[in-house]
Structure 1
């Protein structure tokens, strides 16, 4: 096995460095797509690479090599991969498959439960109002989906802000944001190094919904106020208030001491709404596409190398 098999693993080490730039500098819809694709493709590529390395170790064991009519002696001679590396790859592969399967099972159960709950909730135009003084609002995916809002949240916001809130939650449903989150988390489950990408997706879908609400209402400032107001009224009010106090005054260039550099997601969302809309940033999109292409081609090349190795040890 040549260097190609290690390239997807190396890219997974570097990929988290691009999560923040993509989420902060790129238009949210495009950023969500790029981050999700990166997590899924790199997670798959790294898992395949681990599988390829593990196979090179298995065919060195005479009892296992005999099952495929391979020569374990030839494999040890012709393959430069250390057996310890192949063994480690096998252990990591087992963990990756186990975590990915566990995540898929949990996600399938939660989506099925959400769909069932949504179907049972009485709604008017897809809206469910729950008598609860705690200010809450969320989109519940299903066939059809539901927007659930508590009376506490309705009392917190005025009539105009109600429309902004509903536009935000409808965007989650119509754009199927839960699917983006699920795919990004699947890649991160297979490779924990990609967790920053999955975390960034949970932020960019909120930014996507914010921008959808701003486009529907035509008032970015009002949407920013609604986002901040709803967040400050939630159970995380005290924590968010401390971060938002510094973030709401930041509208210019961000320097090295920029409070938003370490601020939470809500202050960053508010600041983004108070600034002009972000561009699609084709350079970042092209760079991401190039990295994913390299990972895919490297995985294909590594698979070809393994095929040649199996042919060699099988012919001996």
Structure 2
């Protein structure tokens, strides 16, 4: 436990360095899976590590040790973590649990509201056209989901680009992209160091939807042009007109990636040949997640052995 318990925390420091390579060099669908899994696994592993460190500090307090029938003097002798480290871990653990609970509540409330809105919207083939001159388009999760497009966006794009827009937004619903975003944000809520991974997921789901649209139309250049036009038009739209999609966090032009950077990256990716699976990045990610999982399991086992050793006879 002296080393294993710190491994997930150390990996969380370096994992965000791989967010950009994964999102830029790996096929978008695979990149989304890897990034979301990394955020979730590392978030859970680091939270468990904080809990293990906090427990080693608690059993050094005589009043608390008595509750578990442990020997506080033995714990102070055998405990692999210094008391200040355990106290800091306990504080960080409390903050992580509060942030995670707050994120889950907000996400559940948002998705429930989206499902109710989707159920109440009259649609034809899952499409809802809003009478609004502000250019806007977003996917609204539900049972079933809806693709909502404003008349302003339809007027911005020509008729040949309407199918691209529909294919892009329907890809969000078909692949349940909101779930990937939610899982990545859950890991980032537990461990703020992982926020770059969650941010990268909001970019790769857009790339995933772009590639689906390109596959359905067979014209990558036309999709790149439509992406640029739609993003520029939406960037000029009033903030209130973009609120519904922004709340779900499933469109790359909204949120932290809504600046000029990601859109040119998406366009450039569409103008280039499709990306491959990049076995090296896949293997490296799998190795990191395996190391974090094994280290967490080893630390938990070591704590179990420690509690056995300090058990009062």
SS at match of 1:227: helix
- Map Cα deviations across residues 255-305 of structure 1 (whole Å, 9 max, x no partner): xxxxxxx96111100000000000011110011000000000000000011
| 1:236 to partner: Cα distance | 4.1
SS at match of 1:314: coil
2:118 corresponds in structure 1 to 118
1:281 corresponds in structure 2 to 278
| Unmatched tracts of structure 2, length 5 or more | 238-258
SS at match of 1:23: helix
Distance in 2 of aligned mates of 1:46 and 1:212: 35
| Unmatched tracts of structure 1, length 5 or more | 238-261
Matching of residues 48-87 of structure 1 within 5 Å? 48-87=48-87
Normalised TM-score (structure 1): 0.91
User: Which deviates the most, 262-271 or 77-86?
Assistant: 262-271
Matching of residues 97-108 of structure 1 within 5 Å? 97-108=97-108
1:13 corresponds in structure 2 to 13
User: Which deviates the most, 278-287 or 35-44?
Assistant: 278-287
Distance in 2 of aligned mates of 1:77 and 1:304: 19
| 1:315 to partner: Cα distance | 4.5
- Map Cα deviations across residues 78-117 of structure 1 (whole Å, 9 max, x no partner): 1131000000000000000000010000000000000000
2:44 corresponds in structure 1 to 44
Query: How many residue pairs get matched?
Result: 292
SS at match of 2:234: coil
2:214 corresponds in structure 1 to 214
Distance in 1 of aligned mates of 2:174 and 2:98: 32
Aligned pair partner of 2:305 in 303, 308, 316? 308
Distance in 2 of aligned mates of 1:13 and 1:148: 39
Distance in 2 of aligned mates of 1:280 and 1:268: 18
- Map Cα deviations across residues 159-182 of structure 1 (whole Å, 9 max, x no partner): 110000000000000000000000
Distance in 2 of aligned mates of 1:229 and 1:235: 10
1:162 corresponds in structure 2 to 162
Normalised TM-score (structure 2): 0.92
